[in-house]
């Protein structure tokens, strides 16, 4: 298996024109999803998660930047390639109630795509394939679901039908937009476990969108998390690193704000750091410099409100860790200077002949 990304977003921008002026819902996002891996986008409402996902799914055309699938930009694809891309990338929506046509039976919903793309020869085969798909998402025995209408199913069962429908196309990439947020806890875990099995067994890549950090942690443990704020990625890296050792003040605030299902922990957590403001700025009137500065507890005047911080590698986790924060970057530089100096001192002791400047350039 090659390590080339399945999906690559290059400087993706999506600006919507509104009466109040242009709204940059997504302002320059660079991300990758690899086969069999999960990239989780987390953030609060209005941060651009869904807009990013819709652009990645080819539902909207980005105003700048590119979406590449298997190294090829969507805009350069021939109609044939575009059809293949549409088949390979499937979207699972948030609301399992709205996503299914209420007048179609489960079998009809599941076989529509198969017939459209000519993946089955006849009705019998289509029905057999639909039954197979239902088994794959743990709706067994399939016979008791095939002729049901959506209103006869519970929310969890409906979302499984949605997953089955997306699997009918043998997708390489699943884009899940808050696909588990409307489900109850017990049902959510079982759906996530099902999706995890698909990832491991069928090597499906996931662009997984959620506002729930616990879900992100559970599902993307071997993958990556990108935290978005007002249209930009502010922190990105391997999940255990981002959750266990957040660097960006916004990520820290998010993790600190989670209500843990543990009364003692909750009590201990009560004095957690306060943000300077509870309100999210409007996308039509973004603050200068770092967009988080009006709320940031680490805010420093003159630094944070003058220029926008770039999403830079921190050097941790083999260069896979990126943070967009002036303060973190500055501390990092200081640390590396101190580190270099301490190394310098050691070099001096061990090898007094060696030039002390050598370590600086290292």
Sites of contact with other proteins (CB under 8 A): 44-45, 154-157, 184-190, 193, 211, 213-215, 217-218, 221, 240, 243, 253-266, 268, 270, 272, 275, 278-280
Between the CA of residue 99 and those of 206, 208, 324, what are the distances in Å? 19, 17, 36
Distance CA 342, CA 361 (A): 14
Nearer to other proteins, 268 or 310 (CB): 268
Nearer to other proteins, 117 or 211 (CB): 211
Nearer to other proteins, 121 or 151 (CB): 151
Tokens of 188: 């959510």
Q: What DSSP string runs through 62-87?
A: -SEEEEEETTEEGGG--HHHHHHHHH
User: To the nearest whole angstrom, how small is the minimum distance from the Cβ of residue 217 to other proteins?
Assistant: 6
User: To the nearest whole angstrom, how small is the minimum distance from the Cβ of residue 343 to other proteins?
Assistant: 33
Nearer to other proteins, 222 or 308 (CB): 222
Between the CA of residue 227 and those of 79, 124, 157, 207, what are the distances in Å? 34, 46, 30, 13
User: To the nearest whole angstrom, how small is the minimum distance from the Cβ of residue 206 to other proteins?
Assistant: 16
Give the count of beta carbons closer than 10 Å to the beta carbon of residue 214: 14
Nearer to other proteins, 118 or 263 (CB): 263
Say if residues 49 and 42 touch (Cβ distance below 8 Å): yes
Distance of CA 358 to the CA centre of its chain: 41
Distance CA 84, CA 260 (A): 43
User: To the nearest whole angstrom, how small is the minimum distance from the Cβ of residue 352 to other proteins?
Assistant: 46
List all residues 6 or more positions away from 247 whose beta carbon is below 8 Å from its beta carbon: 235, 314, 321, 323, 325, 328
User: To the nearest whole angstrom, how small is the minimum distance from the Cβ of residue 259 to other proteins?
Assistant: 3
Nearer to other proteins, 146 or 173 (CB): 146
- What are residue 304's phi and psi, to 5 degrees? -80, -30
User: To the nearest whole angstrom, how small is the minimum distance from the Cβ of residue 190 to other proteins?
Assistant: 3
User: To the nearest whole angstrom, how small is the minimum distance from the Cβ of residue 300 to other proteins?
Assistant: 21
Tokens of 137: 């998402």
Nearer to other proteins, 184 or 345 (CB): 184
Tokens of 251: 């990520």
């Amino acid at each position: 298996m090659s390590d080339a990304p399945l999906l690559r977003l290059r400087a993706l921008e999506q600006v919507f024109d509104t009466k109040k002026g242009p709204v940059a819902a997504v302002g320059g996002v660079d991300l990758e999803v690899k086969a069999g891996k999960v990239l989780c986008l987390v953030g609060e409402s209005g941060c651009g998660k869904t807009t990013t996902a819709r652009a990645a799914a080819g539902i909207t055309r980005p105003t700048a930047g590119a979406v590449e699938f298997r190294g090829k930009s969507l805009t350069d694809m021939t109609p044939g390639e575009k059809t293949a891309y549409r088949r390979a990338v499937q979207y699972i929506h948030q609301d399992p109630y709205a996503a299914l046509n209420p007048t179609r039976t489960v079998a009809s919903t599941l076989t529509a795509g198969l017939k459209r793309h000519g993946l089955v020869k006849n009705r019998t085969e289509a029905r057999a394939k639909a039954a197979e798909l239902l088994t794959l998402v743990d709706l067994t025995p399939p016979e008791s679901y095939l002729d049901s209408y959506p209103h006869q199913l519970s929310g969890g069962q409906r979302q499984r039908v949605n997953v089955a429908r997306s699997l009918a196309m043998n997708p390489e990439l699943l884009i899940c937009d808050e696909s588990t947020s409307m489900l109850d806890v017990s049902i959510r875990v079982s759906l996530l476990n099902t999706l995890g099995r698909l990832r491991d067994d069928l090597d499906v890549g996931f662009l997984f969108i959620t506002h729930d950090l616990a879900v992100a942690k559970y599902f993307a443990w071997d993958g990556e998390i990108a935290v978005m704020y007002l249209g930009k990625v502010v922190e990105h890296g391997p999940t255990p690193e981002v959750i266990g050792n957040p660097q960006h003040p916004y990520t820290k605030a998010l993790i600190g704000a989670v209500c843990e299902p543990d009364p003692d922990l909750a009590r201990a957590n009560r004095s957690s750091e306060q943000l300077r403001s509870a309100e999210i700025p409007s996308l039509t009137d973004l603050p200068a410099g770092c967009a988080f500065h009006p709320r940031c507890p680490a805010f420093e005047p003159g630094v944070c409100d003058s220029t926008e911080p770039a999403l830079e590698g921190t050097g941790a986790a083999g260069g896979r860790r990126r943070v967009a924060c002036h303060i973190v970057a500055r501390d990092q530089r200081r640390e590396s200077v101190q580190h270099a100096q301490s190394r310098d001192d050691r070099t001096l002791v061990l090898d007094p002949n060696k030039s002390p400047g050598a370590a600086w350039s290292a």
